[in-house]
Amino acid sequence: MFKIDPTSNRINPLEVKRFSDLGFTERKHLQEWLENYPQALAQGDGEELLIIQKEFDGFDDTRERLDLLAIDQDGNLVIIENKLDDSGRDVVWQALKYASYCANLKKQQVVEIFQRYLNQKAQNEGAEPADAESVLLEFLQADDLQSIQLNSLKSQRLILVAAQYRKEVTNTVLWLSQFGVNCQCFKVTPYQTGTELFLNVEQIIPTPEASDFMIGMMAKEAEEKSASNEQRQSHRLRLEFWEQALEAFSQSSCNLYNNVSPGKDHWLSAGSGLSGMVFSLIFGKNEVRVEFSMQRSQAEANKFVFDRLEAKKEKIEADFCNALIWKRLSDQKACRIQFNKPVDGYDEANWPEMIAWLVEHMARLEKALSGPLEKIKHELKTANIVK
């Protein structure tokens, strides 16, 4: 790795260092870095990980601790094992043991583990702890815990992190991949030039090309799995609800959804004129919601639009005739502006009232945002943060 010196138009090599030479340790440093920036272990473009516990020792009949426990956006638990300058011989065996322990965790146990983690973090920071279930649902973009797959069988992932890997480790990881065990190896290398320190994080197994192929195969397998009875019931209800809702929208002054078909998801989206930014209707078990969602792949573009809308918050809320919920979500790519109504969504007797509410408030939201969005559309074209 080289450092570019634009002044002299030269490149200068960075000195490869060992973590131990720099005084860095596994728990106080490497683990801390990854806990607070799990995006360093992103498998591919757009993937995010949510850390739900560290130094986890909640296993029966053993005092073993796994370094970091995370969850990905498909609801799979991710076991992260960190080593420093050498992976050691037994890291794969350790990770497999932890995965087998975690495979038995039920949905509510995962939530409780995450809540203990949030409680400890809040205590350390002298703040009020966040609600684990709410954070999980936000991260998974789900409506309720009952309707999502969380830590399903054979879904556990392994991530190994080290500066160097022994041949017996890499060979074993490659062999396990033939049996559908999702295991990644990340090589972490510290560099130094003068007093400046740098860290390179590189996925070496599987290679990016092989990773794309594996992701495609796993997606195909997931698509072919039959839905559970509860999911089928949810899908039936959602399809019926959206059919009725779209009929009501077609007879209203709000024409956002004129070319949208009913689906089985808990949301229904329509374009806003800005790529990757949509007006969404949310049909939940416990609420209905209208929402403007900024979800481009570039976080900078989403924050750009959100900040300019929030600058006009007073005028937008006056036009909407209600205070809105503004979610910048600084630790995530997406941003959202929302308004909701608590309701028993799965009671079909409530549907006429819910649909009327959605029609009225989406019409208001579109009207309140249309002017500002038209201006922002031109600003985006000239902004350097977007292509």
Q: What is the mean pLDDT of residues 109-119?
A: 96
pLDDT of residue 355: 97
pLDDT of residue 79: 96
Q: 10, 183 in Cβ contact below 8 A?
A: no
Distance of CA 315 to the CA centre of its chain: 31
pLDDT of residue 20: 93
Kindly report the CATH number that applies to the domain delimited by 229-382.
3.30.1460
Weakest-pLDDT range from 44-48, 329-333, 349-353:
44-48
Q: 291, 282 in Cβ contact below 8 A?
A: yes
Distance of CA 159 to the CA centre of its chain: 17
Alpha helices in the chain (DSSP H): 31-36, 91-102, 107-125, 132-140, 167-177, 208-224, 229-250, 299-310, 313-320, 351-382
| CATH C-level class of 2-105+151-224 | alpha beta
On average, the pLDDT of the chain sits at 90
pLDDT of residue 171: 93
Which of 214, 216, 191 lies closest to 202 in space, CA to CA? Answer: 191
pLDDT tens digits along 227-274:
456 677 888 899 999 999 999 999 999 999 999 999 999 999 999 999
Q: Which residues of 277-297 are buried (b: 16+ CB within 10 A; e: fewer)?
A: bbbbbbbbbebbbbbbbbbbe
d(CA 244, CA 81): 49
Q: What is the mean pLDDT of residues 21-28?
A: 94
Adjacency order of strands within the sheet including 325-327 = 267-271, 277-283, 287-294, 335-342, 325-327
d(CA 20, CA 27): 13
pLDDT of residue 227: 42
d(CA 13, CA 194): 11
pLDDT tens digits along 121-178:
999 999 999 999 999 999 998 888 888 889 998 899 999 999 999 999 999 999 998 8
Which of 95, 102, 100 lies closest to 183 in space, CA to CA? Answer: 95
pLDDT of residue 298: 87
Q: What is the mean pLDDT of residues 90-119?
A: 94
Q: 192, 15 in Cβ contact below 8 A?
A: yes
CA distances from 53 to 66, 94, 108, 255 (A): 9, 17, 15, 45
pLDDT higher at 207 or 66: 66
pLDDT of residue 214: 55
pTM (2 d.p.): 0.61
Let me know if 6 is exposed, middle or buried by CB neighbors in 10 A (0-12, 13-18, 19+).
exposed
Q: What's the sign of the alpha-carbon dihedral 125, 117, 47, 291?
A: negative
Q: What is the mean pLDDT of residues 77-89?
A: 92
pLDDT tens digits along 304-326:
999 999 999 999 999 999 999 99
d(CA 292, CA 144): 20
Q: 257, 277 in Cβ contact below 8 A?
A: no
Amino acid letter, 182: N
Domain coordinates in residue numbering, the chain: 2-105+151-224, 229-382
2-105+151-224 against 229-382: fold identical: no
- pLDDT surpasses 60 at 221: no
Q: Residue 378 has what DSSP assignment?
A: H
pLDDT higher at 171 or 222: 171
Q: What is the mean pLDDT of residues 84-113?
A: 93
First to last CA, the chain: 28
Q: What is the mean pLDDT of residues 23-52?
A: 88
pLDDT of residue 226: 45
pLDDT of residue 230: 66
Residue 52: its H or E element: strand 49-56
CA distances from 223 to 30, 219, 220, 269 (A): 36, 6, 5, 22
d(CA 158, CA 55): 16
d(CA 214, CA 210): 6
- pLDDT surpasses 80 at 217: no
Q: Tokens at residue 17, please?
A: 């260092």
Q: Tokens at residue 298, please?
A: 């570039």
